Structures are given as C-alpha cells and as structure tokens.
C-alpha cells in the first residue's frame, strides 16, 4: 500500500544530503501541471547551504534530486551548488 502525505506536512522539514550534511529547511513546494517540480529550500544557520551561499536565502532543488522523504528529506549531494574552491580542487 502506498503511503501518502499532504505537501503542507513537509514544510519546515529538515533537508539532508545523501552524504549526511544538513542542507536547510523546506520552505515551499513548486507545482507544475499538478505535479511537484521542485522544492524551495531555505538556508538556515549552520547549514551547508548557508556556508556555500553566504547572503542568499536559499535554493530551488528539482524534485528528481530528492532521494527519500520520511521524518527528514534526503536529497542528492549533486544538488549542492558548486563552490569556487571545490572547482579549483577538481582541476
């Protein structure tokens, strides 16, 4: 049996990457043609996202990057924005 939830139940849910980093908090869902297209994730204090973005308030994570939703939302670490230092290390 498929377990369903209301989208509004997911607001303010903690978001973690699949590598275990705290990413932020779900702020809003983005719907297109009655389907979830993405999630607006707010950068919170001490989150990986706030460290990478600095002054920005958050990012939009495409729904296909979501790996699981339970007590927390788990997203792919590929959803993390590239940081200039990380790009220099890879070169």
pLDDT of 89 reads: 45
User: pLDDT tens digit string along 29-79?
Assistant: 999 999 999 999 998 888 887 777 777 788 899 999 999 999 999 999 887
Report the distance separating Cα 18 and Cα 35, nearest Å: 23
pLDDT of 76 reads: 92
Cβ(77)–Cβ(18) below 8 Å: yes
- Domains annotated on the chain, with CATH: 7-79 (2.30.30.240)
Map residue 7 onto helix, strand or coil: helix
pLDDT of 58 reads: 85
What burial class does residue 88 get, using C-beta atoms within 10 Å of its C-beta: 0-12 exposed, 13-18 middle, 19+ buried? exposed
């Amino acid at each position: 049996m498929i377990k369903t939830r209301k989208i509004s139940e997911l607001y303010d849910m903690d978001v973690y990457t699949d590598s275990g980093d705290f990413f932020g908090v779900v702020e809003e869902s983005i719907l297109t043609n009655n389907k979830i297209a993405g999630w607006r994730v707010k950068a919170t204090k001490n989150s990986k996202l706030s460290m990478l973005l600095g002054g920005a308030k958050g990012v939009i994570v495409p729904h296909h990057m979501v790996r699981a939703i339970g007590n927390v939302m788990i997203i792919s670490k590929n959803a993390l924005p590239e940081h200039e230092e990380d790009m220099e290390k890879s070169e």
